[in-house]
Amino acid sequence: LAALVGSGFAAQLESIDAAGCGIARLPELEPLARCRRLRLAGNQLRNARERLLAWSRRDHLITLDVRGALEPAEVAPTIHVLGGLRDLKLSGIRLAVHAPAIAEALANRPALARVELVGTGLGEYLAMLDQRRAAQTQLVVAAPTMLELDLVSTTLVLVRERNDRWAIEIDREPRYIMFRSAHREYGMTAPLGQLTSALIAGAARNLLHGVGGGACVTMASDIGVDADDRRIRRSDIARISLSPTGVNVTLDSVVDIDA
């Protein structure tokens, strides 16, 4: 992203999609003279409000996607500095503790047409948010029943059948699912709630190469330090691979230790 913003054509960019790119710190945004749509979902941003506040064109931004990307305490202050926002995606950030601050921030943004709040814990505070929001602002707190996952050569569609049972379609055709986690299941549906919640929250995804292709989705991760001051990162991942007979979905955990 820093290379893109520092390039000679940065001033011409109207939309940037940097979701799931492993960005920890935003570069200076001043070169983005025409940018109106910014997608940063799935990154762990530490300086988003600082960079946005320093950006002279910030009030021209109409779409901001920071699903799972901001610290909860940074969300309300970030909303306060963006006066022109119309579409804001905050899914996957646990915001229940900050509900009053979020309500106040929304009340001061009458231009907002849509705010996505799936998996934020704000469902029980919806009445309070409804009272404070502008009349035209739509609050989305319920998860969709259908999700698309772009695998470049193929679009995989997850369809909720009931509760936590999801079917998978490719080219509108239901596919047989081989699901592996602590147990194994085979059939036309599988318990894919953890995966779909991560996708709703803008989880990072990496394409898998090989026969059929697929993707690896990072559903959640925690960073800690052990007794030897080594950083330990534990990630919950889902590997989705395609085969001629169906779709393989494997849920697993990976631990990385930095020496």
* Tens of pLDDT, residues 217-244: 888 766 667 667 777 877 889 999 998 8
CA distance 100 to 214: 41
CB 128 within 8 Å of CB 155: no
Q: How many other β-carbons are positioned within 10 Å of the β-carbon of residue 175?
A: 18
- Who has greater pLDDT, 209 or 141? 141
pLDDT digits (tens, 9 = 90+) for 12-67: 999 999 887 778 899 999 999 999 999 998 888 889 989 999 999 999 999 999 99
CB 113 within 8 Å of CB 86: yes
CA distance 149 to 169: 11
The two beta strands, 138-140 and 190-191, are unpaired
In the three-class reduction of DSSP (H, G, I as helix; E, B as strand; rest coil), residue 3 is classed as helix
Under the banding of pLDDT at 50, 70 and 90, the label for residue 172 is: confident
The token pair at 82 is 């963006």
Q: What is the pLDDT of residue 229?
A: 72
Q: What is the pLDDT of residue 259?
A: 56
The token pair at 238 is 């889902």
CB 114 within 8 Å of CB 87: yes
Q: Give the predicted TM-score (pTM) of the model.
A: 0.74
Q: What is the DSSP string of 48-73?
A: HHHHHHH-TTGGG--EEE-TTTS-HH
